[in-house]
Structure 1
Amino acid sequence: RALVWNAAWDMTRDAEWPARAFVDLVLGNVGAESDSSVVLVLLRQLQTATDSYVAPEHRVATKRSVADRLWTLVEAAQEGSDTQLQLLKAFAVHATTAPQLDVVAGLADGSRTVAGLPVDTDLRWELLTSLAAGGRAGEAEITAHLATDDTANGRQAAASARAAIATPEAKAAAWDAMVTREGMPNAILETSLLGFNRTHEDALLEPFVEPYFASLETVWTTRGNDMAQDLVQLLYPTALASRPELDVLGRTDAFLAALGDRHPGLRRMLLEVKDGAERALRVQAADRAAG
């Protein structure tokens, strides 16, 4: 089966069939997978396909369907299994509608349960981040939960949840903490970057296209190697590359032309993320062509 899964993913990334076909393939078969490591990979690929490879005009409907089908799989999974836990986490990532977020909220506050699957501290952070990204939780809820888990892991999870809050103010605060100011520990930066990109509304990321390119050289020359690479890669506005008015690819080319021979490492990394954005556009075109 691993060969089949790999072939299906390669076909998706190479725009040889619609991304929505891959989504259907995963959701129709992941529940029968017995290897938890395979399930983990498939659910990560499912998220990439849904967020980046499905044509933008089909994305909202696809996300809603994905979350509904994941919840069905959660309820059908073996009670207490690792697969059930992974499916629940994936459901929380994809939950966007009011009924879906109601389920997430119920799991987080204990008013709803899944047989065989207790909600521990780590899972509650996952659920809270889902609610933050869905506009159903904010600083007050994050601070309250952090008070019960003031550990290194808890502080990292809180940073991710704060960066995921679905308001322009929260995104601006996260950007300022990650990019404008220095001194954020690497572990906090990593989770903050993940939370920042955890959004169901691309409009929340639009204000950061110009600041991204404006900050690149400063980030590259003032941050440590790992931190600089994370910022360049994970803040690149791939999700907005399909928006012609934002001209993400054109801005990238203009920046590279102005960069010249300075900072070859930065040039190489930008070419890599640009290549990823171009691939996403090709795959979206194939998905669009399928109707």
Structure 2
Amino acid sequence: MRSQREKKASAHAGNGAQEPDRAPGTRLSAILNAAERVFGEHGYAGASMRNIADEAGVAQALVHYHYATKDKLYEAVFERRSSAINQHRGKLLDDLFASERKATIEDVLTIAFTPLSEIFHGEDAVNLALYVQLVASVSLGSDERSRRIRETYYDPIAERIIDALHTVVPGIAREQAVWAYLFSVGARQQAHALNGRAMRLGAQDREKKSTAHYADLVRFAAAGIRALVRNETDLAALLKGRDGRVAKPPSNRKPSPSRTH
């Protein structure tokens, strides 16, 4: 069953990736692809409607006709991709928990980290990488625009993945599941960064279309989540007294000097 937040996001976003006027090869698709590249390369502040129109090979008036403001066009970039991504991942989660096989952390993380090339078949790898970079920007942004986009298009599926982690990880608290998700997403953002830092630090260059590192990412995040729960369990055991009661942590207060009578 979908949460109220998911229903709201679905109503707001519609099914943009499947709409005929935004299908690959259409003018709207060209505009959105161009916007994705320009916003991804220059950020929101550095992009302009004129730059986007030039990149798309259309008149600037046409861009304004479909998207009255830069803000609306920026949001449309996220709406188009997130609609298809959330639908894809949501179905995979439904199928996972509907099966008779016991779901694992790796199963959930594999869904959370589904390569975009598996969702958007045949689309430009650079565009998809730039989109991931845009998502990283709004994920960390504290401005009103980023908050609105994050809450509308990404929090609903994030809550489903957090619920899934809470279900498949024995002993994990809901708050731990939230942090496990955020830590994992942070690792994914570093894995997809287009800044070349990994290569400067000594890693081998990977082709932009390669998804070979996804398996490493899943193993890394899964091990971290298990360690997070194990450490909490070990701490609880350490604080438990022999009589079964939870012992209080030692106080740092110094004993007061005894008074003479």
From the two aligned structures, give the one with the greater helix fraction. 1
Q: TM-score range by the shorter chain?
A: under 0.3
Question: What TM-score, normalized by structure 2, do the two folds share?
Answer: 0.25
Question: What TM-score, normalized by structure 1, do the two folds share?
Answer: 0.23
Give the structure with higher Rg (CA).
2
